[in-house]
Structure 1
Amino acid sequence: MVERRLRQKVLSTSVRQQTFDTELLIKRIEELENQIRLSKDNDLNPINDLVQHLVQLNSLGGTRVYHRAIHALIYCLHRTFSSLIRQGRIHASPSECEDGESVKLVKNWLRDRYEEFIEGLFDLLYHQAEGSEQIGLDGLTILMSLVRNESEVMRSLRESREESSGKIDRKKYPNCGFESKTFKRLVKVLIQSSPQGQASVSNDVRAEFITRYFNFCDDIRYYFLKEAAQICRSHVSSSTELPNQKSKGKSLDTAEITLTELKNLTKNLLIYLGSLSTMPTETDELNQFWTGRPTAITTTHQKKRSIKSKSKPFKKVRVEADGSTGMFDDTSDSDETDEASQPVRQRDLDPLLSLRSHQKAFSECWLALLSLPLTELEIKKVLNILHSQVIPNMIDPKFLMDFLVDCVDSGGSIAILSLNALFILMSKHNLDYPAFYTRLYALLDRNVFHGRHRPRFFRMLEKFLSSTHLPVNIVASFLKRISRLCLFSPPGAIIASIPFCYNLIKRHPSCMSMLHRDDRTETLGVQEKDPFDEDEIDPMETDAIFSSLWELSSLRNHYLASISTLSKVFSESFDKPQYELEDFLDHTYNSLFQTELDRQIRKPPALSIFASSYKSTEVIKSMKTDDIVTQMWNI
C-alpha cells in the first residue's frame, strides 16, 4: 500500500514537472519569436533554437503533455518562415549570382533550417496516439499554407527572372500554377510508409486532406494524381527486380522492405482514389484553385490570327435571298464580336483549365496503380468501383482491357466482379472481346449459386442476356445450364433462377420448344441420350436447343412449397408480364425460414389420424399393453 502511494506521488510529481517544463518552453518560444521580429541586425540564430525544439519534441513521440508546446512552436515557425519566404530570402532570386558569399551562406543556412522544419511537420502527420489528432491536422494546415506561399513567391521570382533576361515564354510558364516542391514531398508522405515503419499517416489527417483539399481544389487533385502516378511508375521496375534480387542472393531485408513499401503504397493510394468523388465532367466545373486561377496562354499563332483579322482590306459582298447586300448594315462591333468569339484552342489552355488534362492525369494514375502487384482484396475493391467511378472519367477506358481480361481468366469471385466493367467497355466503348460469352458460360457453376456474389451475378447475367439479337444457341445453353444447376442448389438460388428463366424465355420465344418438348422415350419407345453436352465450354456448340428443360418440371415436386408453387408458371400460358428479378435475389435460408414463421395459417393443417377425446385417452391408459413397442413409446 505504501509503495503504491509512493508510486502515485512520483507520477504526479513527474506530470507537474512536465507541465512546468511545457509552460517554460512556451515562454521560451515567445521570447525567441520576439527576438527574431524585433532584431535590428536581422539576427536569425533563434530560428535554429526553435527548429531544434521541434526535433526534440518529435523524438518524444507526441506526448500529450507537450501538445500545447508543439502547437505554439509550429505556428511560431510558420509565421517566421512565411515572412522569410515572402521576402525572397529562402528561394533563389534573379540577383542571387550578384550577391556576396555571406548572403549566399545565410540563404543556404535558411534553406537547411526550412528543410528541417518541413521534415518536422511531416513527422507530425504520423502521430497515432490518442489525443494527438489535432497536432497532425495543424501540421497539414501549415504545410498546405506553405505550399501556397511557395507557389506565389516562385511565380514572382520566375517572372522577374524572365523580365531581366528578356525571354518570356508564357506557353511554357503560365502566370499561375503550382510551383511548390513541398507538395511533391507531401504526396509521398501521404501515400507511402514512414521511415520509422508506420504504414500511413493518421486517419484524421487522411480524411482532412481528402475532404478539404483533394475533393475540393482542382489544382491539388491534378498535381496529386500526376505525382502519385510518377511514384507508382518508379516502383514498377523495383517490383519486377525483386525475384532477381532473391535469386542472386542479395539482402532479403531489402527485398522485404521494398515489398512492404509496395503494399503500403497500393493500400494508401487506393484509399485516396476510391474517395475521389468530385472528378469534373465539364470545363465549367474547374473553378476551385488553391494557388490561384491560371489564365489562357496567348500563343504566336493566336497573335498572327488576330493581326490578320484586323488588317482585312476587302470583304467580298454576299447577296442575300431578298436581294440585299447588307452594305449599309451597322457592322461596327462585328470585328470585336468575331475576335471575342474565337475559342481558345485546347492545346493553348493551361493544363489546370483543360478537362482533358485532368482526365489524362486521372487515367495515368489509375493505370500506374493497376500495374503494381495488388492483393486479392485490393483487386476486389478496384472492381467494385471500376464501372461507376473510374471508367466514366478516363480518356480511353480500353486501356483497362488487359487488367480486366486477367481478372476474368483468374476465375472465382474476381472474375464475377470484373464482368460488369468488361461488358461496359464492349457495349459503350467498342471493345472487341469475342470470348465474352464463353467466359461467362464457364463461370456459371455451382460455386456461383452457393457464393455471396450470387445476387450480383444474376443482375449482370440479366443485363448481358437482355439483347434480343443474341444467337438462340447461346440463350438455350444458359437456360439449360441454370436449370441443371437448380437440381443441386439451395432454395435461395432456385427462387432467383425460376423468374430469371421465365423472363429469358419470354424475351426469346425461340426457346419455348425446350419447355414443351415431349419425352422421346414415351413417343418412340426408344431410350435416347440427352443431346445437351454439359462438358462443352462453348455455348454455341452444346446443342442445348435440342434438349428439354425437364429440370424445371421436376421443381414442381420440391420440398419447399414456395418453390413448387413458383415452378408451376412454366406449365401455364406465357401471358404474364416479366418478373421483377430484384424481388427474388436476396433470399437465404434465414429469410425463407423467417417467412415460414411469420406466415399466418388460415386453417389448421390436416392430421393423418383423428384427434382422441379425453375419455378415450383414459380408457387407453387403463388398458394393459403387452406390446413392447407401445411400452417403449409410453413416456
Structure 2
Amino acid sequence: MASILSKKQKKKEKYTLKELKSLGVELLSSRSHINNLPLLLSFISPESPPEFVVESLLSLQSFFTPLLSQLPSTSSHPSSTKRSHDDSSKTTEAEDPEVIFKAWLRSKFDEFVKLLLDVLTSQQSEDALREIVLGTLMEFVKLLNVGRYHSSIYQRLLHTIIHSAVDIDVFLNILTSKYFKYIDVRYFTYISMEKFVKTLEASVVSADRMVIGNSEAENDSKESIELSVRNIYQVLSQIPTPEKQAEKSNHEMWSGLDESSSEKPKKKKKKTEEKDSSLLSPTTISKRMKLKFTKAWISFLRLPLPLDVYKEVLASIHQTVIPHLSNPTMLCDFLTKSYDIGGVVSVMALSSLFILMTQHGLEYPNFYEKLYVLLVPSVFVAKHRAKFLQLLDTCMKSSLLPAYLAASFTKKLSRLSLYIPPAGSLVITALIHNLLRRHPTINHLVQETIENTNEANTEADENNESQPKTNKKQKLGIDYFNNQETDPKRSGALKSSLWEIDTLRHHYCPPVSRFVSSLETDLTIRAKTADIKIEDFSSGSYATIFGDEIRRRVKQVPLAFYKAVPTSLFADSDFPGWTFTLPQEEGKC
C-alpha cells in the first residue's frame, strides 16, 4: 500500500500547473478523457500546493456542475437499491453501461466532496483557499438537488466545521457575510444545530459513564465536547434572529426558489414531493423559522455549558433569544436553575427571569427571597451591576409589596452603604429614596429614635419587674436588624432604623454627603417628589465621581489669610523636634 502511494506521489510531482490545466480542459472536452477525473481528484489534498488545489477544483467543479441533475441520489449500484417486480427489467437496468457510469460518477463526486471538506478544515490550508472551497461546497448545496436545497451536504459541511480544530471564526466570517442572509440557509442551519446537539448529548452521557481508569481518554473526550459546545454557540449567535414580521426582502433563497416557482412542484401527484417542495417555499420557511430557532436554542441550553459561555449566554439571552422564541416559558427551567446558583450567575439571570415573570406569566414564589440574598457588597463592583441595579429598582416598584419586604430591602441596602465604594453609596441612596417614596408604611425607619426603639420592648420588660432600670439603658441603641439572615421575614427590619444613612452625612466623598440631603424631604408627599432614575447612578465608579467633581463649578472657595507670608507648610510649634526648612547648598542661591 505504501509503495502504491509513493508511486502516486511521484506521478503527481511530475505534473506542472500548465499540464494540470490541460488535464482539466481534456476532461471537459470529451468523455474519452474520463480517466483524468481520478488524477485531478488526487490533487485535492492539504498536502498539495494551493495553486494545484485551486486548478483541480475549478476543473472538477466545471465538470460536475452540468451533471449534478443527472447523478443518482447515492453512489451504490442500482441493482442493490432499486426493487422491481420484473426481474428481467431489473437485470437490464443493472447492466446498462450508462447507469453504471453515472453511479461511478456519483461515487467520485462524493469523494470530491469529502476531499474538499478535508482541505477546508486542514491546519495547512490558507484562508483564501478555505473561502474558495467553501464557496464550491455551497454551490453544490444549491445545484445538486435540482434547484432545491441539498441539506445533506450542508449538514456535513457544518458538522465538519463544528468538530474542526481550526478557529471557527474563519468560517463564520464567510458564512455571515455571504450566506446567512438567505432564509433557507438560516433555516437548515437551525435544523443542523439541533441534530448536532442531540448527538452531543449522547456523547456527554457516554463520557460520564466512562471508566475512571483511563483519565487521558476522559480528558480528551471532555475537551472535544467543550470545543463542540463553544462552536455551536458561535454559530447560533452569528445567525440573524428571525424577525416577528419578516419582510419580502428577507425571503431571498440561496437555492433560487421564489414564490412563483414554488407553486409549480405542487402539481405533482405524490404527496411526499408536495411536502418537500413546500418546505422550500420562502413563506413556509418564514412561518416555521421561529419554531426551528426555538428547538435549536432550547436543545443547546440543555448541554453542560462552559462557565464563560454560560455567562455570555445569560448576558444576552433576554435580547437575542427570548423575543424570538415561539414559547419563551420553555426557558423557565434553565433560568430558575441559573438564578438558584447564586453570585454573578444569578445576577445575570435576573434580567431574563424578570421578563418571563412580567411579560409571560411565569410564577416564581421565592423570587424576592433569592433577590434579597443577592444583595452583597461584591454586586456593586460587578461587571453587570448597572442592569442588576436597574432591575432591582423595577422589582420594588409595586405598591402591593408587604411592608416587611420593603423594610428588609431598605435596611439591607442601608447597611451595605457602609462597606461599598462611594459610587455604590450614591446608587444606594437613590434606591432608598425610591423605596421610601413608594412605600409609606416603612417611613418610620427614618423617624425611629432611640426612645421609640426602646418602647418597642417595653411590654417584654414589664413582665420582669426585678430587672433594674440600668438594663433598659443598656438596650438603648440596639439594632434589631439581623444582617446575616437570608429570609426577609425574619430580618427584623421593621424594628430597626436607617441609622447608617446618618453616617453618610459625614462621608469622606463630598458627592455622597451632598446626595444624602435628598432623603431629608418628606417623601410621603408623592405629588411633590419624583423617583430618582437609577440608570444615572448605576454605572458609577471612582472615575465617574472624579470626572463629575472636576467639572463641577465651585461657587465658594475657602481662603486662608496670613498676617505674615508663611515660609513653611507647618509651624515649628506644631511638630516639636522637626524642621521643615531645606538647608541651602553652598554656592547656590
- Does TM-score exceed 0.5, indicating one fold? yes
CA offsets per residue over residues 195-217 of structure 1, 9 Å max, x none? xxx2444x343111123222x11
Whole-Å separation in 2 of the counterparts to 1:606 and 1:284: 68
Equivalent position of 1:212 in the other structure:
178
Gap change, CA 1:584 and 1:389, over 3 Å in 2? same
Whole-Å separation in 2 of the counterparts to 1:510 and 1:504: 10
Gap change, CA 1:428 and 1:91, over 3 Å in 2? same
Matched, 1:59 2:24: no
2:339–2:345 contact (8 Å) kept in structure 1: yes
CA offsets per residue over residues 491-541 of structure 1, 9 Å max, x none? 010011111211222222222222122222687574254333333322234
Which residue identity lines up with residue 45 of structure 1 in the other structure? N
Equivalent position of 1:47 in the other structure:
37
Equivalent position of 2:163 in the other structure:
192
CA offsets per residue over residues 226-275 of structure 1, 9 Å max, x none? 1111111111122122232133x3x4444333222211211111112112
When structure 1 is superposed on structure 2, of 260-269 and 511-520 the one drifting more is 511-520
CA offsets per residue over residues 157-192 of structure 1, 9 Å max, x none? xxxxxxxxxxxxxxxxxxxx5344211101102222
The counterpart of 1:548, out of the listed 491, 497, 508, is: 497
The counterpart of 1:27, out of the listed 18, 38, 61, is: 18
Which residue identity lines up with residue 486 of structure 2 in the other structure? I
The alpha-carbon deviation at position 361 of structure 1 amounts to: 1.3
Matched, 1:123 2:110: no
Which residue identity lines up with residue 500 of structure 2 in the other structure? E
**TM-score, reference length from structure 1:** 0.75
Matched, 1:605 2:558: yes
The alpha-carbon deviation at position 122 of structure 1 amounts to: 1.6
Equivalent position of 1:289 in the other structure:
253
Matched, 1:80 2:98: no
Equivalent position of 2:407 in the other structure:
476
Matched, 1:246 2:211: yes
Whole-Å separation in 1 of the counterparts to 2:291 and 2:324: 9
When structure 1 is superposed on structure 2, of 571-580 and 77-86 the one drifting more is 571-580
- Corresponding residue SS for 2:417: helix
Which residue identity lines up with residue 578 of structure 1 in the other structure? D
Equivalent position of 2:427 in the other structure:
496
Equivalent position of 1:273 in the other structure:
236
When structure 1 is superposed on structure 2, of 83-92 and 224-233 the one drifting more is 83-92
Equivalent position of 1:573 in the other structure:
522
- Corresponding residue SS for 1:585: coil
Gap change, CA 1:379 and 1:628, over 3 Å in 2? closer
Which residue identity lines up with residue 605 of structure 1 in the other structure? P
1:468–1:507 contact (8 Å) kept in structure 2: yes
Gap change, CA 1:25 and 1:54, over 3 Å in 2? farther
Equivalent position of 2:29 in the other structure:
38
2:151–2:188 contact (8 Å) kept in structure 1: no
The alpha-carbon deviation at position 293 of structure 1 amounts to: 3.8
- Corresponding residue SS for 2:146: helix
Which residue identity lines up with residue 576 of structure 2 in the other structure? V
Whole-Å separation in 1 of the counterparts to 2:447 and 2:573: 58
**Aligned-residue identity in percent:** 25
Whole-Å separation in 1 of the counterparts to 2:285 and 2:38: 44
Whole-Å separation in 2 of the counterparts to 1:558 and 1:229: 56
Whole-Å separation in 1 of the counterparts to 2:514 and 2:209: 63
The counterpart of 1:70, out of the listed 39, 42, 53, is: 53
The alpha-carbon deviation at position 591 of structure 1 amounts to: 2.7
Whole-Å separation in 2 of the counterparts to 1:382 and 1:438: 24
2:453–2:496 contact (8 Å) kept in structure 1: no
Can you give the 5+ residue segments of structure 1 that lack an aligned partner in the other structure?
1-20, 61-65, 154-176, 304-345
The alpha-carbon deviation at position 350 of structure 1 amounts to: 3.7
How many residues are paired up?
524
Whole-Å separation in 1 of the counterparts to 2:546 and 2:317: 36
Which residue identity lines up with residue 543 of structure 2 in the other structure? N
Gap change, CA 1:629 and 1:80, over 3 Å in 2? same
The alpha-carbon deviation at position 129 of structure 1 amounts to: 6.7
Can you give the 5+ residue segments of structure 2 that lack an aligned partner in the other structure?
1-11, 83-89, 456-471, 583-589
Whole-Å separation in 1 of the counterparts to 2:276 and 2:368: 42
The counterpart of 2:482, out of the listed 523, 533, 545, is: 533
Which residue identity lines up with residue 138 of structure 1 in the other structure? I
Gap change, CA 1:503 and 1:347, over 3 Å in 2? farther
Whole-Å separation in 1 of the counterparts to 2:27 and 2:280: 41
1:210–1:272 contact (8 Å) kept in structure 2: no
Gap change, CA 1:571 and 1:144, over 3 Å in 2? same
1:473–1:540 contact (8 Å) kept in structure 2: yes
Gap change, CA 1:388 and 1:180, over 3 Å in 2? closer
Which residue identity lines up with residue 464 of structure 1 in the other structure? C
Which residue identity lines up with residue 508 of structure 1 in the other structure? H
The alpha-carbon deviation at position 381 of structure 1 amounts to: 1.0
- Corresponding residue SS for 2:195: helix
Equivalent position of 1:310 in the other structure:
none
Structure 1 segment 313-328 matched on structure 2, within 5 A: none
Whole-Å separation in 2 of the counterparts to 1:505 and 1:208: 55
Would you identify which runs of 4 or more consecutive aligned residues in structure 1 move more than 6 Å?
21-24, 92-96, 296-300, 346-349, 625-628
